[in-house]
Amino acid sequence: MHFFQPSILSFGLLATSSLVAGHSAIIAATGDQGGAGSAIGVDPNTPRDGTRRNPFQQDATRFRGNAADSCGETLAGGDNDIEAGTQQVMAQNGNTLPQVSPGGSIQMTVHQVNADGAGPYTCMIDATGTGTNWVPIQVTTNIEGSARGRNRETNTQDLPLTAAIPADMQCTGTVAGQQNVCMVRCQNPARAGPFGGCVPVQMAAPANNTGNAANAGNAANAGNAANAGNAANAGNAANAGNIENNGNAANAGNGNAVANAGNLNAGNAANTVNTGNSPTNAATNGNRNGNANAVANPNNNNRSAKQTADGALVTDDDEEEEVGLTQRLRRWIPASARK
pLDDT at position 113: 97
pLDDT of residue 291: 40
- For range 78-96, the mean pLDDT: 98
Residue 155 CB neighbours (<10 A): 15
Q: Count Cα atoms within 13 angstroms, Cβ side, for 99.
A: 10
Alpha-carbon distance 2 to 22, whole Å? 40
**Is the pLDDT at 38 greater than 90, yes or no?**
yes
* Residue 14 exposed, middle or buried by CB count within 10 Å (0-12, 13-18, 19+): exposed
Eight-state DSSP code of residue 45: T
Q: Where are the beta strands (DSSP E) in 113-170?
A: 122-126, 135-137, 139-141, 158-164
Range in 10-24, 57-71, 198-212, 265-279 the model is least confident about: 265-279
Contact predicate 316/303, CB 8 Å: yes
The domain spans of the chain are 25-201
Q: Give the count of beta carbons closer than 10 Å to the beta carbon of residue 240.
A: 10
Closest CA to 57 of 69, 42, 67: 42
Of the pLDDT bands very low, low, confident and very high (cuts 50, 70, 90), residue 339 is low
Average pLDDT over residues 305-321: 44
Sequence length of the chain is 339
Helix, strand and coil in the chain, % to nearest 5: 40, 20, 40
pLDDT tens, residue by residue, 17-35: 344 556 999 999 999 999 9
Sign of CA dihedral 59, 61, 65, 71: positive
Which fold would CATH assign to domain 25-201? Coagulation Factor XIII; Chain A, domain 1 (2.70.50)
Asked whether the beta carbons of 129 and 203 are under 8 A apart, the reply is: no
Please state which of the ranges 45-59, 128-142, 252-266 shows the lowest mean pLDDT.
252-266
- Whole-number Å distance between alpha carbons of 96 and 204: 12
Range in 73-77, 122-126, 312-316 the model is least confident about: 312-316
H or E stretch at 263: helix 207-270
